[in-house]
């Protein structure tokens, strides 16, 4: 083994050992493996909560690798020179990685593949981040899907292949190259004092994600279809946090869901349908990358959305102080847990883009800063879906009424009490924890009065949004 040149496995958003095609292929080549993560030009652009969550994931991956006799080498800098330096130091002959589908990663990876091959290094990418790679699903006419339902029908009977087992031991080199120390990167610095509050709400790593999946299948998948919209209930899988960092593969979830369907579990098919929404988002992002940054539909560029991210009404929305209890509860859930219930995401997105008439990009950017399950494609698709500018979107004139939504999906007010402290005699611990998480310079206290009047009243906001829509010139 000592004379065999090593192989680099370049980890990115695939921070797991099970069902890892790149790692499995590298091990099959019978050479020492050097696992590496590079805090590169793509990762440096990520928001505060994603970087905080990344740190936890890297820490766990390093432990998991050590259990297998291996290590995780950490480097910081542009990916290509970092890989070239590592290759020069170790004599590696190949680099394997899992494919990514966002434009920045694609540009980086394409350049690296060409450059390494010119250097005489085998550069091999593998699938693993989605169930079905975007170019493998085509309409009858040969183009990409733009509507979800036919996309679902096209993939529902496809076989993504069996998940690969985690390797036993991972062979390492005799001498390990130098590595940065993870804490030197200070990945949670931008979270400020919120880091230790959000840390109470995370479930990190490969085996924790598998246990989470098993627990969901055993206890919650049956009533999933009916219960998944009830915001106060623990009725969904919570796996988005793990999927986005690649701590579990979508294929492992697909297989578990299929088995649950075979076992006659009621909500299993609906759960798989939701999982496929994530694939659909990446399908759209790969075929029409402007989904991630611009109005997907022509014409919306002229819509009179406000674009000021510091406007007072946007500040109220971010701080959970709009005076609309369901919206405020959800925005606080986001700040404290780093996630938000899907129903609540739709309601806060609708309130921002319609009642407050603010551009969906302001909301998308705030989510990218605060979500630990931040996924560029699902986030952009979700925002554009609600705003009406996206593919297969809810029509703009569909304005969620947060009060009606609360009556339906939080009928006993449990969710709102869980997150709002002001004006209550005995606030819950979760509601109070919000004030420990937020920056001190927001100047908020649980003793404050809850806003007496909403920042924009529901009826007034709805009418203004619909009038703007009627007057649009597209």
Ligand X SMILES: Cc1cc2nc3c(=O)[nH]c(=O)nc-3n(C[C@H](O)[C@H](O)[C@H](O)COP(=O)(O)OP(=O)(O)OC[C@H]3O[C@@H](n4cnc5c(N)ncnc54)[C@H](O)[C@@H]3O)c2cc1C
Q: Which parts of 206-235 interact with ligand X (CB under 6 A)?
A: 228
What's the burial of 133, exposed, middle or buried (CB within 10 Å: 0-12/13-18/19+)? Answer: middle
Q: Angle, nearest 10°, between helix axes 148-155 and 268-287? A: 110
Residue 278 within binding range of ligand X, rule CB under 6 A: yes
Closest CA to 286 of 132, 389, 158: 132
| Cβ 287 to ligand X shortest distance, Å | 16
Helix (H, G, I), strand (E, B) or coil at 98: strand
Nearer to ligand X, 179 or 203 (CB): 203
HSE-up of 131 (CA within 13 Å, CB side)? Answer: 27
Output phi, psi for 36, to 5 deg.
Answer: -140, 145
Nearer to ligand X, 80 or 364 (CB): 364
Q: Which parts of 362-401 interact with ligand X (CB under 6 A)?
A: 367, 371, 373-375, 378-379, 382-383, 386
Given candidates 4, 277, 288, 294, which one binds ligand X under the rule CB under 6 A? 277
What CA–CA distance (Å, rounded) separates 403 from 424? 19
Give CA separation, 175 vs 6, 32, 56, 170, 248, in Å. 11, 10, 26, 15, 30
Span from 131-139, 185-193, 194-202, 269-277 in contact with ligand X (CB under 6 A) = 269-277
| Cβ 265 to ligand X shortest distance, Å | 14
| Cβ 209 to ligand X shortest distance, Å | 10
What CA–CA distance (Å, rounded) separates 402 from 245? 31
Nearer to ligand X, 393 or 458 (CB): 393
Given candidates 134, 177, 194, 238, which one binds ligand X under the rule CB under 6 A? 238
Residue 236 within binding range of ligand X, rule CB under 6 A: yes
Given candidates 131, 346, 406, 420, which one binds ligand X under the rule CB under 6 A? 346
Residue 342 within binding range of ligand X, rule CB under 6 A: yes
| Cβ 343 to ligand X shortest distance, Å | 8
Residue 128 within binding range of ligand X, rule CB under 6 A: no
Helix (H, G, I), strand (E, B) or coil at 291: helix
Per the DSSP assignment, residues forming a β-bridge with 123 are 95
Q: Which residue of the chain is nearest ligand X when measured via CB? A: 382
| Cβ 197 to ligand X shortest distance, Å | 20
What's the burial of 7, exposed, middle or buried (CB within 10 Å: 0-12/13-18/19+)? Answer: buried
Cβ pair 194, 437 in contact under 8 A? yes
Residue 170 within binding range of ligand X, rule CB under 6 A: no
Stretch 290-329: interaction string toward ligand X, x if CB under 6 A: ----------------------------------------
| Cβ 277 to ligand X shortest distance, Å | 4
Given candidates 275, 284, 406, 420, which one binds ligand X under the rule CB under 6 A? 275
Which distant-in-sequence residues (6+ apart) come within 8 Å of 467 by Cβ? Answer: none
Question: What is the residue-wise DSSP string for 408-423?
Answer: HHSTTSHHHHHH--TT
Contacting positions for ligand X (CB under 6 A): 228, 236-240, 243-244, 274-275, 277-278, 281, 342, 345-346, 349, 367, 371, 373-375, 378-379, 382-383, 386
């Amino acid at each position: 083994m000592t004379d065999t040149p090593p192989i680099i496995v370049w980890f990115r958003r695939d921070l797991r050992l099970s069902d890892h095609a790149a790692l499995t292929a590298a091990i099959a080549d019978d050479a020492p493996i050097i696992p590496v993560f590079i805090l590169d030009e793509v990762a440096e652009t990520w928001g505060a909560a994603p970087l905080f969550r990344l740190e936890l994931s890297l820490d766990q991956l390093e432990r998991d690798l050590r259990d297998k006799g291996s290590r995780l080498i950490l480097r910081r800098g542009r990916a290509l020179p970092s890989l070239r330096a590592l290759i020069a130091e170790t004599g590696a002959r190949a680099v394997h990685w899992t494919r990514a589908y966002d434009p920045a990663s694609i540009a980086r990876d394409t350049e690296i593949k060409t450059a390494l091959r010119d250097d005489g290094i085998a550069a091999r990418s593998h699938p693993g981040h989605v169930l079905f790679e975007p170019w493998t699903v085509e309409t009858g006419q040969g183009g990409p899907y733009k509507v979800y339902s036919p996309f679902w029908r096209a993939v529902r009977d496809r076989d993504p292949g069996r998940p690969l087992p985690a390797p036993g031991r991972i062979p390492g080199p005799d001498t390990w190259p130098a590595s940065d120390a993870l804490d030197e990167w200070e990945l949670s610095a931008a979270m400020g004092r919120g880091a230790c509050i959000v840390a109470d709400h995370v479930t990190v790593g490969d085996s924790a994600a598998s246990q989470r999946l098993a627990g969901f299948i055993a206890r919650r998948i049956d009533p999933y279809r009916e219960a998944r919209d009830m915001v106060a209930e623990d009725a969904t899988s919570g796996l988005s946090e793990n999927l986005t960092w690649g701590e579990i593969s979508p294929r492992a979830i697909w297989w578990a869901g299929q088995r649950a369907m075979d076992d006659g579990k009621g909500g299993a098919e609906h759960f798989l349908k939701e999982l496929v929404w994530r694939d659909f988002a990446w399908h759209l992002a790969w075929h029409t990358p402007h989904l991630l940054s611009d109005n997907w539909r022509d014409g919306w560029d002229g819509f009179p959305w406000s674009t000021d991210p510091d406007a007072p009404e946007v500040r109220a929305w971010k701080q959970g102080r709009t005076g609309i209890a369901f919206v405020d509860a959800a925005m606080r859930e986001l700040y404290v847990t780093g996630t938000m219930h899907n129903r609540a995401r739709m309601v806060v997105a609708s309130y921002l883009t319609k009642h407050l008439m603010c551009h969906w990009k302001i909301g998308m950017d705030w989510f990218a800063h605060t979500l630990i399950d931040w996924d560029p494609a699902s986030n952009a698709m979700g925002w554009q879906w609600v705003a009406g500018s996206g593919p297969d979107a809810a029509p703009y004139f569909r304005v969620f009424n947060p009060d009606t939504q609360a009556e339906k999906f939080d009928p006993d007010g449990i969710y709102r009490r869980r997150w709002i402290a002001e004006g209550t005699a005995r606030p819950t611990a979760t509601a109070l924890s919000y004030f420990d998480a937020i920056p001190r310079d927001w100047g908020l206290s649980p003793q404050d009065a809850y806003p007496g009047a909403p920042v924009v009243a529901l009826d007034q906001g709805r009418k203004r949004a619909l009038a703007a829509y009627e007057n649009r010139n597209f």
